[in-house]
Amino acid sequence: MRRLGHAALVGLALFLGLVGAAVQPGTAVAQSVGGTDPYTNQRIESVEVRITNPSQDSGLNARVTDAVRSAVALFPGARFSQQRIDFQIARARRIRDVGSVDYDVSFGRTGGLEVDILVTLGETAAAEGRGLAFGGKFPTIYEKDGTFVRFKLDLLGLYYANNNAWYGQPGAMLAGNPLVQGTPAGAGYESWLESYLHYGVYGITPISPNLYLYGGLSAITSGSAGQELFTDEARTYTGIEDAYVGVVGGRTDAAGNRLSYNLTVGRQRFTLANGFLLANTAANGDERAALQANARWAADMLALARLRYNTTMFEVFYLDPDELPVIDSETVYAGANLEMQPAPGLNLGVSYVTSPESNFNYFTPVGGIAGTREGLQVYDARFTYAPNSGGRGPFFGGEYAVQRNSEFDMDARAGWAEIGYSWPEARWSPTISYRYAHFTGDDPDTATYERWDPMLSGGTGEQWVQGANHFKVVQDSNVIAHRIQARLRPSPKVELVPQLWAFYADSRTNVGGNPALTFLSDDEYGFEAKLTAKWFVSRNTYVHGHLAYTWPGEATRTAIGSDDGWFSAMLFVRYAF
């Protein structure tokens, strides 16, 4: 069994001293650009409640601020949900002396979000009703007596281009790939367009003073045209996205302790912690179009129970992801997750995930089948620590996970460690960090199966989409990745993220990976330089783009007989209510 190497750990220790889409093996896939929805499930770094027209009565200001903070119930460390914050703000608008409540979002210093709750004092008008039902404005349909119903409208247009996609060798890289229809992208400059429209209705209503019933129903219409990575066929697709119900409740005691609970079931999105294990709960591309826009996120079924007491959260879940029919492995997951903040700036988490059903096969170095994903058992522990949270100083993070299987001998390991430093008071508020990540491959000299299964790992390009181009060739399995990353904020609404990547193989036997890279002559996969730009034009409009250049390492050059670099460019605009 090949573990995280001693030399690598020693090297990482010296450095520290000095300063989540799994598919059937052999199937190359593309991953979304990761940032088409800049809010949902992003980590909240700070929450500020601000009165825009404060009264001369400081006692009134303090009472309203505390009441709004309690009603919105949004705290650092939580994950952002637009539906949740809209529902909670509807509750806050019923508070005495509150005329209106809104919110704004900016980029945080370490990749999360800063949320500002904006309160305007005035006469409380919630008893009269708001929304279209009372002659009001879109998107609110009905708001009265604690019941809140609103439209959702999310429109995105994306342009994507490649020069020498698949290093100019699509025949070798995509051999036997079921996603290939017609002509895939390859040598030369080629581009395509994608768009989607997400539309639906979401609502919440009180059952009792401390218990609410909520739900959502939506659909997505998506389309693609041009020379995509796997096909040149134009297509459109419409399908149900969200379809769920739930109950949420809780209370705050006289000492300020917050207890809340949430039970929900149906088609909806789910991310486990930071997306290292589970993030991409729906697949895109093929007949569904919108390959890079990653329009769809909702699992076929999610049953989730979540309990939160102050900064401690416990959840159990059952998840059936919405896989593409052409590569549907009929995998389901179940698990439990515990997260806590025992000290300011310190976040700890542990998770357990199992797969009770799956047809996904694990292939051995000699071409046999070691077993299936059914019976998979994953144990995960992680932490992040920012000693001077919100201010100048270092930050750290790490995670370690082990995969076993109750049906056969499996022992796969994955982990990462990160160190960074932030200067929020300096010009452009720079942050720089180094991250080392290691996902084991299979050692052909042992009977134990050791290749890490990436499951549904993913998220954004700053999470587990490791490289805009390189990730499409080598998923998060049998790979060692070094990343140097900076964050620059010319303004609170604009962020630039330059990245430098180096990728190496853990094992030169790569059965289960890209078919062109099954047996490697060297450890060096390749390198990538990428620049991402993000702009919150307003709370409704978001612009995102990247430029990336990837060049093959010795192992890849030898395997495909080419040293052509791969350039990609992407730009999208998203408008959402």
Q: Measure the CA–CA gap between 268 and 319, rounded to whole angstroms.
A: 10
Q: Closest by alpha carbon to 305, among 341, 338, 342?
A: 338
When mean pLDDT is compared across 23-32, 118-127, 170-179, 555-564, the lowest value belongs to: 23-32
Residue 88 sits in the same domain as residue 164: no
CA distances from 300 to 198, 244, 286, 331, 480 (A): 17, 10, 18, 11, 32
Q: Are residues 109 and 228 in the same domain?
A: no
User: 276-315 pLDDT, tens per residue?
Assistant: 999 999 999 999 999 999 999 999 999 999 999 999 999 9
Residues 297 and 366 in one domain: yes
- For residue 236, what are its two tokens? 């459109």
Stretch among 64-68, 203-207, 564-568 having the lowest mean pLDDT: 64-68
**Rounded Cα gap, residues 59 and 398, in angstroms:** 44
Angle at 113 between CA 112 and CA 116, to 5 degrees: 160
Domain end call among 79, 105, 139: 139
Strand partners, 566: 550
- Regarding predicted confidence, which is higher, 522 or 128? 522
What is the reported pLDDT for 72?
85
The three-state secondary structure class of 11 is helix
Q: Please check whether residues 408 and 427 belong to one and the same domain.
A: yes
| Domain match, 371 and 329 both | yes
pLDDT-derived band at 21, boundaries 50, 70, 90:
very low
Spatial contact of 263 and 247, defined as CB atoms under 8 Å apart: yes
Percent of the chain with pLDDT over 90: 68
Query: Is the residue at 278 inside a domain?
Result: yes
User: Is 13 domain-assigned?
Assistant: no
Average pLDDT over residues 192-201: 97
DSSP annotation of 358: -
* Within-domain flag for 277: yes
Give me the pLDDT at residue 368, please: 85
pLDDT band of 350, cuts 50, 70, 90:
very high
Look at residues 139, 160, 179 and tell me which one is the last residue of a structural domain: 139
Give Cα 60 to chain centroid, integer Å: 40
- Give the span between the Cα atoms of 250 and 263, in whole angstroms: 12
* 3-state helix/strand/coil string of 196-212: EEEEEEEEEEEEECCEE
Distances in Å between the Cα of 458 and the Cα atoms of 20, 22, 65, 464 are: 4, 9, 37, 5
Which residue in 548, 534, 438, 544 sits closest to 493, CA to CA?
A: 534
| 400 contacts 380 by C-beta, under 8 angstroms | yes
Task: Give the per-residue pLDDT at 23.
Answer: 40
Is the domain of 305 the same as that of 192? yes
Return the pLDDT at 22.
34
Determine the average pLDDT of the residues in 447-466: 91
In a domain, 9, yes or no: no
**Spatial separation of the C-alpha atoms in residues 262 and 268, rounded to whole Å:** 14
Q: Does 277 lie in the same domain as 151?
A: yes
Residues 57 and 177 in one domain: no
Confidence band, pLDDT 50/70/90 cuts, at residue 76: confident
Q: What is the pLDDT of residue 88?
A: 86
Q: What is residue 351's three-state secondary structure?
A: strand
Residue 259 and residue 210 in one domain: yes
Residue 15: pLDDT over 90: no
Q: pLDDT of 369-404, one tens digit each?
A: 999 999 999 999 999 999 987 789 999 999 999 999
Collapsing DSSP to helix, strand or coil, 147 comes out as strand
pLDDT of 309: 93
| 251 band by pLDDT with thresholds 50, 70 and 90 | confident
- In-domain check, residue 4: no
Which own/partner contact pairs does 306-310 have at CB distance under 8 Å and 24+ positions apart?
306/261, 306/262, 306/263, 307/260, 307/261, 308/250, 308/258, 308/259, 308/260, 308/261, 309/257, 309/258, 309/259, 310/257, 310/258
Per-residue confidence at 18, pLDDT binned at 50, 70, 90? Answer: very low
Asked whether the predicted pLDDT for residue 424 surpasses 70, the reply is yes
Residue 189 forms part of a structural domain: yes
Q: Is residue 5, in this structure, part of any structural domain at all?
A: no
3-state SS class at 496 = strand
Compute the average pLDDT of residues 77-96: 85
Structural domain harbouring 58: 45-139
Residue 127 has pLDDT above 70, yes or no: no
Residues 114 and 226 reside in one and the same domain: no
Tokens of 489: 């904020």
Rounded average pLDDT over 324-328: 91
**Band of residue 124 on the pLDDT scale cut at 50, 70, 90:** low
pLDDT mean across residues, the chain: 89
Mean pLDDT, residues 114-124 taken together = 88
- The mean-pLDDT minimum among 53-57, 84-88, 497-501 falls in 84-88
CATH of the domain at 171: 2.40.160.100
**Do the Cβ atoms of 446 and 1 come closer than 8 Å?**
yes
Confidence of residue 460 (pLDDT cuts 50, 70, 90): confident
Mean pLDDT to the nearest integer, 407-411:
96
Q: Taking a C-beta distance cutoff of 8 angstroms, is the pair 210, 357 a contact?
A: no
Q: What is the CATH number of the domain that holds 72?
A: 3.10.20.310
315 lies in some domain: yes
Quote the tokens at residue 95. 């508070």
Please state the rounded mean pLDDT for residues 260-283.
94
Instruction: Mark whether 538 and 452 lie in a shared domain.
Output: yes
Out of 116, 139, 162, a domain closes at: 139
Please check whether residues 520 and 487 belong to one and the same domain: yes
Confidence of residue 46 (pLDDT cuts 50, 70, 90): confident
| Count of domains observed in the chain | 2
What pLDDT score does 125 carry? 55
